[in-house]
Amino acid sequence: LPVKPAPLRMPSPHYPHWASLQADIEAHLKQTIPLKEPLEVFEPMLHLAFSAPRTTVPALCLAACELVGGHRQQAMAAASALLLNLANAHAHEHLTDGPMYGPNIELLTGDGIVPFGFELLARPDGPASASPERVLRVMIEISRAVGSVGLQDAQYVKKTLWDGGEEVQNVESMQRFVLEKRDGGLHACGAASGAILGGGSEDQIERLRNFGFHVGMMRGMLQMGFMEKHVQEERHLALKELQFFMDRDVHVISSFIY
């Protein structure tokens, strides 16, 4: 964990809040990912879950859950599923960077952790016992955010960008598209999922979805070196959504935009 102001590529919401949420998620995952024989199968699964760069998506899921009056435990399985899906996507995107366990193991490991993420949500000791309908809804949210209409689409367009050959005026709109589908979409999903599982109203869910979207855009823009005015614009839009929650304690969740 970072102990100093985090560099741009690290999640850097106001440290203590984010760290406390993230630490809870990681502790939960260490408890739930079985570590048993054959270690060649299980150890890389645990490793993979923690080797991807941390993102603010899972922590935002917990924060949104708490904001609507839920307990963070209610959103823990969704936060874990998000973390596992993102770890898998990262591992597969970087499969050729010299993986630690050999490409075959990394590949198969990723395949295991995606269904496992959904399993955490479905289990009777998870949130499904209290509200199966809300859990099913969150599964659809996650599938769309990481799948072919979300992250996967962004990865494809990013690949096209890297391969070059696009006109310069296209590059900026394509970068924005990548940000919207990837950083914006994933954070929107995290926040909406947390609100759904925390028992939020439809209004609260949609406000938090928008808030998450702008948080993601803002953070993605910072990473990609967008101009300050664009970043400020997203922060402003995010803040506007938070005003809906002014009768609540927005202390933790507003740390995601500062």
Q: Which residues bind a copy of itself (CB under 8 A)?
A: 34, 38, 40-42, 45, 85, 88-89, 92-93, 95, 104-105, 107-112, 114-116, 118-119, 122-124, 128, 132-133, 135-137, 139-140, 142-144, 146-149, 152-153, 155-157, 159
> Is the four-CA dihedral 68, 238, 235, 186 of positive or negative sign?
positive
Closest distance of CB 224 from a copy of itself, Å: 20
CA distances (Å), 42 to each of 32, 33, 109, in order? Answer: 12, 8, 8
Query: Is 42 or 245 the residue whose CB approaches a copy of itself more closely?
Result: 42
Q: Cα–Cα distance between 71 and 155 in angstroms, integer?
A: 33
Query: Is 77 or 252 the residue whose CB approaches a copy of itself more closely?
Result: 77
Look at the block and give the residue holding tokens 């496992």. Answer: 116
Closest distance of CB 205 from a copy of itself, Å: 16
Compute how many other C-beta atoms are within 10 angstroms of the C-beta atom of residue 201.
Answer: 10
Closest distance of CB 138 from a copy of itself, Å: 9
Closest distance of CB 219 from a copy of itself, Å: 22
Query: Is 133 or 167 the residue whose CB approaches a copy of itself more closely?
Result: 133
Closest distance of CB 157 from a copy of itself, Å: 8
Query: Is 150 or 184 the residue whose CB approaches a copy of itself more closely?
Result: 150
Compute how many other C-beta atoms are within 10 angstroms of the C-beta atom of residue 156.
Answer: 13
Query: Is 24 or 153 the residue whose CB approaches a copy of itself more closely?
Result: 153
Compute how many other C-beta atoms are within 10 angstroms of the C-beta atom of residue 95.
Answer: 14
Query: Is 8 or 39 the residue whose CB approaches a copy of itself more closely?
Result: 39
HEC secondary structure over 192-248: HHHHHHCCCCHHHHHHHHHHHHHHHHHHHHHHHCCCHHHHHHHHHHHHHHHHHHCCC
Write the Ramachandran bin of 15: left for phi over 0, alpha for psi from -120 to 50, otherwise beta. Answer: alpha
Closest distance of CB 146 from a copy of itself, Å: 6
CA distances (Å), 104 to each of 48, 94, 96, 140, 207, in order? Answer: 13, 13, 11, 29, 42
